[in-house]
Amino acid sequence: MQTTPAVPDRAPVGGGHRVLVLAGGLSHEREVSLRSGARVVDALTDAGVDASLRDADAGLVDALRGDPGATVFPVLHGASGEDGAIRAVLELLGVPYVGSGPDACRVAFDKAVAKSVVSGAGVRTPQGLALASSTFRDLGAPTLLDALVDRLGLPLVVKPNRGGSALGASVVRDRDALPAAMVSAYSYSDVALLERYAEGTEVAVTVIDTGAGPTALPAVEIVPDGGFYDYAARYTAGSTEFFAPARLDAAAAELAAECAVTAHRALGLRHLSRSDLVIDDSGVPWFLEVNVAPGMTETSLTPQAILAAGLDLGAVCRDLVEAASMAADRL
C-alpha cells in the first residue's frame, strides 16, 4: 500500500474563493479547537488561500448565508463538532465543507459503535464494553465492577464513549481505582467505554483523500512521559516524545497503514481522518478509535504526519478544500 499520497501540485484556490475555518464552539475542547483553527488559517493563507477564522456560535448561520461562495473547513473538536450536528447544518444550507458527512460522523464519534464497525471489516480491536451511567447505577456499581474485572481483566482503559482529547480517560491497573475512573469518564459522557489495555507501540495514522482515494500518511509514534497519552500529554509542549515516521519495521508500518485506510472506508469517512492504533509485539495493529476532525495544533499528530510525508500543511489543506468544492460543484 502506498503510504505517501500523491498530492497534485495545483495552483492555490483562487477566483475570489473564500474559506471559513470553523473553530471554537462550546465543547470541553474549545481552546484546543481555536488553536487548531488558527493554525489552519495560517497554513491556508501561506498557500495563497483567502481564509478566515469563524466561531460556531449563534451568528454562524447568518454568516454562511451572507457568504454563499465560501467553503467551510471544520476544525471543531468534541460534541457537535465531530458528532455530525454542524455538518448536517452545513448540508441544510448547501455549504460545501471539508470532511466526513453527518451520518459517518455520528458513527465514528460513538467509540463503541465505531469499534464494532471496524471490527466487522476485519480489523482487530481490544475487547470492551460500553456502559451507560444509568445501568451502572441501577445494577449496583460494586457488583458490576467485579464482574467487569473478572471478564476483562486488568489493566483497563476507561474513557468517555463520546468525546476526544482523552478528557476523562484513564488507565486502571488496580481494582480500587476503577470507581474513580468511571466517575471521571461519566463527567464527559453518559456512556463509559471500558476496554482491555492494549500493550505495544502507540501510533496515529492520518488518512487523506483529495480525490484519488484514501491514502495513509506515515504513522506517528507517541511516547508520553507519564506512560499515558492524556490531555496534558497531548497539548503540553515537551511532555510527549514523537517519532515521525514511527519506529516500525516495514511490515508493521504497512499493516498500520492498511488498518487506518480500512477503518476510514468501513466508516464511510471522507477527505480526512486519523486512526489511533497500538502495534503489538508481533507487529499487528489494534484499532482504538478514529477522529474525523484531527487536531492541527503545534503538538498535534496530523501536521507531524504531513511533514513526515514530505508535504506542506498549507498545500494539503488547500487540496482538501478544492476536493470539497469540486464535489459540491458536481452535485
User: Is a pLDDT exceeding 70 seen at residue 12?
Assistant: no
Assess whether 241 carries a catalytic annotation: no
Higher pLDDT, 133 or 298: 133
- Hey, what's the cell of 151? 471478564
Determine the average pLDDT of the residues in 96-125: 97
**Which residue is catalytic, options 54, 87, 274, 318?**
274
Of 36, 80, 291, 325, catalytic: 291
Contact status, residue 1 vs residue 258, Cβ threshold 8 Å: yes
Catalytic pick from 37, 128, 164, 295?
295
Better-scored residue on pLDDT, 124 or 211: 124
Q: Angle between the 102-109 and 111-120 helix axes, to the nearest 10 degrees?
A: 100
Q: Is 291 a catalytic residue?
A: yes
pLDDT of 173 higher than 70: yes
Q: Euclidean distance between the first and final Cα of the chain, in Å?
A: 31
Pairing of β 128-132 and β 50-55: unpaired
Domains of the chain, CATH where assigned: 18-99+314-330 (3.40.50.20), 106-123+199-311 (3.30.470.20), 128-196 (3.30.1490.20)
The per-residue pLDDT for 27 is 81
Active site residue 82: no
Residue 1, all three cell numbers: 500500500
Q: Quick one: pLDDT band at residue 138, thresholds 50, 70, 90?
A: confident
Strand-pair category, 170-172 with 70-74: unpaired
Q: Are 294 and 208 in contact (CB under 8 A)?
A: no
Annotated active-site residue in 55, 276, 319, 322: 276
The percent of residues in the chain predicted with pLDDT above 70, rounded, is: 91
Q: Let me know if 282 is a catalytic residue.
A: no
Q: Is 29 a catalytic residue?
A: yes
Residue 3 has pLDDT above 70, yes or no: no
Q: How far apart are CA 191 and CA 14, in angstroms?
A: 45
Average pLDDT of span 277-301? 95
Whether residue 295 lies in the annotated active site: yes
Q: Which member of 110, 289, 319, 322 is catalytic? A: 289
For the question of residue 235 being annotated catalytic, the response is yes
Side chain identity at residue 32, one-letter code? V
In the residue annotation, 52 being an active-site residue is answered as no
Q: Compute the average pLDDT of residues 287-293.
A: 96
